[in-house]
Amino acid sequence: MTLTTEPPATTDVAAEAQDRWRRLAPWLILAVFSYVPSVATRPGWVAADTKQYLYLDPGKLLQSAWSMWNPDVALGTVTHQNIGYLFPMGPYFWSMSQLGVPIWLAQRLWMGSLFFAAGAGVYLLCRLFRFNRYGALSAAFVYMLTPFVIDYITRISAITMPWAALGWMLSFTVLALRRPGWRYPAWFALMVALVGGVNATSILFVGLAPASFILYGWLITKEISFKQAFGVIWRIGLLTLGVSLWWMAGLWAEGAYGLNVLKYTET
């Protein structure tokens, strides 16, 4: 009688662990280079970023942001961009305040998260295009460490939110073209809801990239049909419009009863 023995299970476990580490390592590297320099820069100092009420009294900012009318300024006025801080910056800094996290540290973690989101989105996008891990990680670093951010990250970091989301928006567009349905258009719309409430111009600019990618695949490379392109566009467009009505209503109210921001400051 011949006995057959199975290979040791430890070999499979070790191989699985090694493969899991290879998949996880690029994300950890991006996280280290995003958070460590941010936290290590001028500990204890608070940058004059965006709106000071985010740090002084985030609860009061959230209470006032839901209404476009502010009776406490200039005998009453229509607020400018406050509605955009209802999500995500307002809840984030309010949560940090309630947890007792020092203001400077909460701010640095916010900035680090923007860097990480930017790099991780590009890494995912490159992996969808079948870049190897080293190539995808290199592209992520190039995008994440762009000098463009220097002028904004400590002054008006809200402007950089669409920049941080661009890789994710393109990734969800690619996946929506490859896997028809509502799932990835919905993820795209949720990303717009997350980063699009503060500055309309910024989200419109980054929106050019997914639109250009779809047109390129349809008209230039012929990799997708008109039916595919139209299906993705109308799903993404419908859902994105739905999740953007809250801040679009704010722009309308401000343009109608206050400063016409689109005419004077968003040119």
Dihedral angle at the C-alpha atoms of 205, 211, 212, 213, nearest 10 degrees?
A: 120
Q: Taking residues 207-226, what's their average pLDDT?
A: 91
Residue with tokens 């990618």: 213
| Residues whose CB is less than 8 angstroms from the CB of residue 130 and which lie 6 or more positions away in sequence, other chains included | none
Average per-residue pLDDT for the chain: 86
Residue 46, both tokens = 């608070």
Beta-strand relationship, 77-78 and 69-70: antiparallel
Tell me the range of 53-62, 71-80, 205-214, 239-248 where mean pLDDT is highest.
205-214
Start-to-end CA distance of the chain, whole Å, equals 85
Residue 149, both tokens = 């951010």
Q: Taking residues 209-215, what's their average pLDDT?
A: 93
pLDDT at position 50 is 79
Residue 110 to residue 3: CA distance in whole angstroms:
61
pLDDT at position 187 is 95
Residue 96, both tokens = 């940090």
Residue 162 to residue 157: CA distance in whole angstroms:
10
Residue 51 has pLDDT above 50, yes or no: yes
Could you give the 3-state DSSP secondary structure of residue 266?
coil
Q: Taking residues 22-39, what's their average pLDDT?
A: 92
| Longest Cα separation, the chain | 98
Strand partners, 69: 78
Closest C-alpha to 174, from 231, 120, 128, 122: 128
Closest C-alpha to 119, from 20, 31, 187, 39: 31
Closest C-alpha to 85, from 13, 7, 147, 157: 157
Closest C-alpha to 119, from 168, 160, 175: 168
Could you give the 3-state DSSP secondary structure of residue 78?
strand
pLDDT at position 3 is 47
Residue 148 to residue 146: CA distance in whole angstroms:
5
Closest C-alpha to 45, from 102, 96, 101: 102
pLDDT at position 1 is 45
| Residues whose CB is less than 8 angstroms from the CB of residue 159 and which lie 6 or more positions away in sequence, other chains included | 152, 198, 199, 202
Closest C-alpha to 166, from 192, 198, 190: 192
pLDDT at position 98 is 92
pLDDT at position 36 is 95
Q: Taking residues 175-195, what's their average pLDDT?
A: 92
Give the predicted TM-score (pTM) of the model: 0.86
